[in-house]
Amino acid sequence: MLVAQSGNNVVVKFGESPVGPFGIFYSVYECPEVQEDPDIFVYNAKAHPNLSTSEELLISYNVNSFNFGDLFSNADIYRPRFIYLKINDSTATSIDELAQTVKEFSLEQNYPNPFNPSTTINFKIEESGFVSLIVYDMLGNKVAQIAGERLSAGFHSYTFDVNRLGEKMLASGVYLYSLQTEKINLTKKMIYLK
């Protein structure tokens, strides 16, 4: 089990070993600061087992802002936050049961956005199947395929890094990223700045 952040949520990741791979993300906390200001993002979520009790796991996370002006107008966003995850029978739920808790398809906004050179894209799928995550330019030309594989139901996270495009140069601008399964096609915009 690993505590981390995924989009606007603090999540618990389950895997076969401490270093992964982590196929399922189980959202344990939705950060309210992000709902108040779309420029705010979550980072550095982690567990503190030495400061926890047998009933509760202490988790800390930080928020920051894409808007430099927030440094002066809202300095409070830079302090660490702490939450407690209740440890009970539900934390021992099997990975298969957690996967079944996802009841929707969703594609989150990438972060950071704008980005250079890499950004993270998170999504949820409600059933196992073949999934493609593709980046297009505004003319509809395929720029990169981030994912093209069979995935289990649940939360997934991928990184798009322009440095991995090889000789293909990416111009600054707006790009589309599209999540495609047999049932759905969800698309969002992202901005790359050199």
**Mean pLDDT confidence for 159-182:** 88
pLDDT tens digits for range 35-78: 667 777 777 777 777 777 777 777 777 777 777 777 677 666 66
Count, in order, helices (H) and strands (E) of the chain.
3, 13
CB burial of residue 41 (10 Å; 0-12, 13-18, 19+): buried
Phi, psi of 91 (to 5 degrees): -70, -15
- What pLDDT is attached to residue 191? 93
**Mean pLDDT confidence for 140-167:** 86
In sequence order, the β-bridge partners of residue 85 are 57
C-alpha closest to that of 102 among 71, 130, 123: 123
- What pLDDT is attached to residue 96? 41
Q: Which residue has the higher pLDDT, 143 or 37?
A: 143
pLDDT tens digits for range 74-84: 666 667 777 77
**Mean pLDDT confidence for 86-93:** 49
- CATH 2.60.40.1930 in the chain: give the residue spans: 102-192
Q: The whole model's pTM is what?
A: 0.51
Please give the Cα distance from 36 to 9 (Å, whole number): 14
Architecture of domain 102-192 in this structure:
Sandwich (2.60)
